[in-house]
């Protein structure tokens, strides 16, 4: 079984940035691919693991302020890096 492509992961970053999905939903989707029960079942390359790892932490809170640890500019940068790697410029 193959994991999600970089284009699909990039779309999740876009959806978070546009408000079409929540950070929590994106985190849960990414974690589904990274969980131990998929070990040996899902093929993920280094870029997929990297991008899913970023997406999996997208909902981390910044304590004690209650805001998110990663702001939208940082998420935009991650999305852009995923896009660059997908297009072979990374």
* Model confidence pLDDT, tens digit, residues 20-39: 999 999 999 999 998 865 66
Asked if 47 contacts 9 with a C-beta cutoff of 8 angstroms, the reply is no
**What pLDDT sits at residue 39?**
60
Q: How far apart, in whole angstroms, are the C-alpha atoms of residue 85 and residue 57?
A: 19
> How far is the C-alpha of 8 from the C-alpha of 50, rounded, in Å?
14
In this prediction the pTM is: 0.88
- Is residue 13 predicted with pLDDT exceeding 80? yes
Q: Average of pLDDT values for 44-54? A: 93
pLDDT band at 90 (very low <50, low <70, confident <90, very high): low
Give strand ranges (E) for 1-90: 61-62, 67-68
Better pLDDT: 44 or 6 = 6
Which residues sit opposite 62 in a β-bridge?
67
């Amino acid at each position: 079984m193959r994991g999600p492509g970089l284009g699909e992961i990039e779309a999740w970053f876009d959806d978070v940035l546009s408000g079409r999905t929540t950070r929590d939903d994106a985190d849960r989707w990414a974690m589904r691919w990274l969980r131990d029960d998929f070990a040996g079942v899902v093929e993920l390359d280094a870029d997929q693991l990297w991008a899913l790892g970023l997406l999996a932490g997208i909902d981390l809170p910044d304590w004690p302020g209650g805001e998110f640890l990663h702001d939208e500019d940082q998420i935009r940068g991650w999305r852009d890096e995923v896009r660059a790697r997908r297009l072979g410029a990374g």
